[in-house]
Amino acid sequence: MSSGDIDFMRAALELAVQAEAAGEVPVGAVVVKNGAIIGRGYNCPISTADPTAHAEVMALRDAARSLGNYRLADCTLYVTLEPCSMCVGAIFHARIARLVYGAADPKTGACGSVIDLTAELRLNHHMEMTGGILAEEGGGKLKQFFEKRRKTRVTAARGINENCH
C-alpha cells in the first residue's frame, strides 16, 4: 500500500458519497494511468435502470472513452468494495493491470470473499490485486447506508400498520 493508493481510494470514496446522495448503494471507483485519474464512476443501476451500472463498470466506460480504447492496459482500478463476478469479468476484458479495493463483500465478492475469479488459472488474464485499502471507511459507508434503509423500511411498515383499523 502506498500513499498514492490511499489518495486514489479517497477519490473513489468521494464518488461513493455521490452515489449515496443519488439514492444508490455507496460504491465508487476510479481508473488511474500514469498517476492520473482517467475514469470515474459510482453505482447507478437504480437511476439508470441498468443492472450493469456498477461503479467499476462506469469507471471502466469513462476511462475507455478517455483513452479511445476499450483495452486499459497499464491502468489501476480503485474501488471501495470488492468487485462482484460481473465486474471482475469486465475488469479482465479491459485488461486492467492492477485492482485495488477497499471493503470485502461477503455476499457477492468475487476476489476471495465468496469466490476468487482472480485466482482462476484457466482464465486468460491475470492482474495484481490489493484488498483492504481504507476498508473501514468504505465498509462503514455501506453499513450506515443499509442501517438507514432498514430503519426507513421499518418506520414505513409501522406507519402502514398504524393506519390499518
E strand residue ranges, the chain: 28-33, 36-42, 75-81, 98-103, 128-130
Per residue in 102-146, pLDDT (tens digit) is 999 999 999 999 999 999 999 888 999 999 999 999 888 888 888
- 33 neighbors 74 (Cβ within 8 angstroms): yes
Instruction: Answer whether residue 88 shows pLDDT above 90.
Output: yes
Catalytic residue among 56, 82, 120, 137: 56
User: Smallest Cα–Cα separation from 34: which of 4, 79, 3?
Assistant: 4
Encoded amino acid at 133, one letter: I
pTM across the whole model: 0.89
Looking at residue 140, its pLDDT comes to 85
Determine the Cα–Cα distance for residues 156 and 89; give it in Å rounded to an integer: 38
Tens-digit pLDDT profile for residues 9-68: 999 999 999 999 999 999 999 999 999 999 999 999 999 999 999 999 999 999 999 999
Catalytic residue list contains 56: yes
pLDDT for the residue 159: 55
88-94 CB contacts, 8 Å cutoff, 24+ apart: 88/117, 88/118, 89/117, 90/56, 90/57, 90/60, 91/56, 91/60, 91/127, 92/117, 92/123, 92/124, 92/125, 92/127, 93/125, 94/60, 94/63, 94/64, 94/70
The helix (H) or strand (E) run that includes residue 136 is helix 135-163
